[in-house]
């Protein structure tokens, strides 16, 4: 996991993977690529991806253990996940916020289009080949 610390307050923040509007002054909208959003001043998760909630349900379901879960995730569970980008920003008076994104997230519902090549639009019989180049029948 790669950590980046920003010394700025984000008034508008967009997911670096999906482009979805995540934060604005009055709202939080998690992106499907988001792994977590942790509020340090409250020592609680505003958002935690479902598979992680399920895996660590004992810690997650106890609000007093969110700080412990955050440390476990960032120091042990995700430490070797090179595709996770952990962003921390903020500071006084509002406190720090940490977000983590899966940079390899792919929307399963997104249709994967095959690359289009001009040759694909030419019928096989009209494509250049040795026979029609030399008019061999």
How does pLDDT run along the chain (137 residues), one tens digit per residue?
666 766 655 667 888 899 888 887 778 889 999 999 999 889 999 999 999 999 999 999 999 999 999 999 999 998 888 899 988 887 665 678 889 999 989 877 765 555 555 555 666 666 555 555 555 54
What stretches of 1-137 adopt beta strand conformation (E)?
Answer: 2-6, 13-14, 21-24, 27-28, 34-39, 44-48, 84-91, 95-102
pTM given for the model: 0.71
């Amino acid at each position: 996991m790669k950590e980046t610390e920003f010394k700025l307050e984000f008034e508008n923040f967009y997911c670096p993977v999906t482009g979805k509007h995540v934060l604005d002054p009055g709202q939080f909208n998690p992106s499907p690529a988001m792994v977590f959003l942790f509020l340090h001043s409250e020592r609680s998760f505003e958002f935690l991806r479902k598979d992680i909630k399920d895996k660590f349900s004992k810690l997650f379901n106890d609000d007093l253990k969110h700080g412990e879960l955050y440390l476990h995730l960032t120091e042990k569970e995700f430490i070797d996940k090179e595709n996770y980008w952990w962003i921390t920003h903020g500071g006084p008076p509002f406190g720090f916020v940490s977000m983590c994104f899966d940079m390899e997230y792919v929307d399963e519902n997104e249709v994967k289009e095959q690359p289009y090549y001009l040759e694909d639009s030419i019928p096989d019989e009209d494509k250049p080949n040795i026979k029609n180049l030399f008019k061999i029948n």
